Amino acid sequence: MDMQTAEQRIDELKRLLTQYGYEYYVLDKPSVPDAEYDRLMQELLALEEQFPHLKTADSPSQRIGGAALELFEKVEHRTPMLSLANAFNEQDLRDFDRRIRKAVGDDFSYVCELKIDGLAVSLRYEDGLFVQGATRGDGIIGEDITSNLKTIKSIPLRLSEEVSIEVRGEAFMPKLSFVALNERRKERGEEQFANPRNAAAGSLRQLDPKIAASRKLDVFLYGIGNPEAVGVVSHSEGLDYLDRLGFKTNHERRKCATIEEVMEFIKEKTEQRHQLAYDIDGIVIKVDSLHQQAILGTTVKSPRWAIAYKFPAEEVVTTLLNIELSVGRTGVITPTAVLEPVRVAGTTVQRASLHNEDLIREKDIKIGDKVVIKKAGDIIPEVVNVLVDQRTGMEVDFYMPTHCPECESELVRLEGEVALRCINPKCPAQIREGLIHFVSRDAMNIEGLGEKVISQLFAENLITDVADIYKLTREQLLALERMGEKSVSKLLAAIEASKSNSLEKLLFGLGIRHVGAKAAKTLAQEFGTMEKLAAASKEELIAINEIGNKMADSIVSFFEQEEARELIEELRNAGVNMEYKGPKPISASESDSIFAGKTIVLTGKLEHLTRNEAKEKIEALGGNVAGSVSKKTHLVIAGEDAGSKLTKAQELGIEVWDEERLLEELKK
């Protein structure tokens, strides 16, 4: 590869890995399986080794992890939480072993542990009491999720000894908890989690600890931030010490004298992994002696004395029996492979998404083909490739239809899109999916109106649009299967309560194309009423921060439709609120508040307000609430147990208030 080609490919890899890393670590919504991310990272590392002068400080290869979110207070780890280098095969393991022997000689041993597929956390104890828990974040700065971690029953609130210690572990969602959670979300019409790792991360980033408590998370502790401080001399001794303190560690671990014993352990656990009550995605191998760990040291991003062996994705062969089509809420037609049932990664797989026609053509998929199947991230089934040499001549080409499989309207492919789309607003499938979206948690949040009930009501012709939900009667609901007096009363109460939702909930529920939950709130805050938003021009819309041309066009088009205007009038007549009820942010120039135009940081525990309530009140008065203290910070509000942010504010000479002063100023 020449220099110019290498530079172009490195730039492309950096862009992709940065995007995928952001989706994985910050948004908790990975768009590619781990195996694809790992493959791209290995390619980048190889190119940077071949062309070292092209390696830059902003390369994903130099990163430890993702940035902390602004939703929680940031926490600085006393000892950095480094990520681990990866091994993908026997040769990688032998290379690792060779480097260890070269540095410390032959007199050493390894400890092998299961690599739990969850969210890395750090727990801090003072005199035996649990005082703070945080995510790994970028390895240096994490997020304070103490309240959520306290809901995990396997985390002790008091240790068996009055010791001050920082420990590390992996919070995870057991398989049974994951299945139960997705069942509940499906019934409520909510988006299901792709895998237990995402579910655990999403649960621990909930602002309401009750939600985390309801999801039955668990944790395994695997290390001590500063083990020498508590007198242990090896990693295995540290794990035993954690057991004695009352922590839950994973006992599926083994001390190994040679790399051959390590590989035997890997083979054994690979075969057993699907029988475990939780997901693992590999095996972690560490040099046991802390003295030898110190000799080996660390790189910028990972310790030299440890490595993570990643399981290859299990692939199996089956027959593609048919391709079925489904119609989504926005009219997108999605093809799905119907497979001869086959066991993959511990479960029976019968279906796999084919995404769109372009993918089917690219992989040359025909009905009747022998295909290789794997689970992306060990969860989502996908067709890897076709075994062309096993074709018999009886296979049949698949062609996407020209008309909608539900309403028979002509399908279109919009400019710049790969998907075929039904644009008939009266398409039954779109209406049904739109109804499910309307009642979901982030929209009107009507508990009890899950996908099954919506489908039942739709099939019985009791609802044909969202306004019909507010016309349902007790008699109609009691006539449905599995609907008793108690559940009907609860459902009717939930429907009635939803009428008083703030405008942004209704806007999001209406499913206006390109308008997500965040944009809906921005629009509601800006215009205040449905009437004013409906009358807004494209120019007025794009003048708002975060509203672009595409979204503005979509909003204008929506309100130009006679059907949309009639629907909104029906909802209004049913008593559904059409006004924004939350605090409306004002600019610094419009406010005479002491907070106007100032950057303010909240730290510690507030007694009378939640962190979010304080943030909303300050921002409503023209202030800007930031997550970290810097020279640009004007004011710090310090509650109880304020930590490093308060210290930094004092060092920089920044004004500090207590909660009492904050409340006084908010009353003015």
| DSSP structure string for 483-507 | --HHHHHHHHHHHHHHTT--HHHHH
Query: In terms of Cα–Cα distance, which of 368, 364, 312, 315 is closest to 339?
Result: 368
User: In this structure, are residues 657 and 642 in contact, taking their beta carbons and an 8 Å threshold?
Assistant: no
Known catalytic membership, residue 255: no
Dist CA 338 CA 350 (whole Å): 6
Phi, psi torsion values for 38, nearest 5 degrees:
-60, -40
User: In this structure, are residues 21 and 63 in contact, taking their beta carbons and an 8 Å threshold?
Assistant: yes
N-term to C-term CA, the chain: 68
Helix (H) or strand (E) holding 83: none
Question: CA 179, 184, 189, 190 torsion: positive or negative?
Answer: negative
What DSSP state is assigned to residue 410? Answer: B
Tokens of 364: 């040359």
Q: Residue 271's CB: how many other CB atoms inside 10 A? A: 9
User: In this structure, are residues 451 and 189 in contact, taking their beta carbons and an 8 Å threshold?
Assistant: yes
Q: Which parts of 345-464 fold into alpha helices (H)? A: 357-362, 428-438, 451-459
Residue with tokens 């070292």: 52
User: In terms of DSSP bridges, do strands 165-172 and 218-224 run parallel, antiparallel, or are they unpaired?
Assistant: antiparallel
Dist CA 120 CA 548 (whole Å): 37
Burial of 517 from C-beta contacts in 10 A (0-12 / 13-18 / 19+): middle
Dist CA 252 CA 114 (whole Å): 7
374: which strand partners?
315, 382
Given the residues 14, 74, 102, 115, the one annotated as active site: 115
Dist CA 219 CA 203 (whole Å): 13
Say which residues have a Cβ less than 8 Å from residue 249's Cβ, sequence separation at least 6: 220, 221, 222, 239, 242, 243
| DSSP structure string for 224-272 | ESSGGGGT--BHHHHHHHHHHHT-------EEESSHHHHHHHHHHHHHH
List strands edge to edge, sheet with 380-386: 347-353, 333-344, 315-327, 370-376, 380-386
Residue with tokens 């994705």: 313
What DSSP state is assigned to residue 658? Answer: -
> How distant, in Å, are the alpha carbons of 29, 46, 205 from that of 34?
12, 18, 21
Catalytically active residues are 115
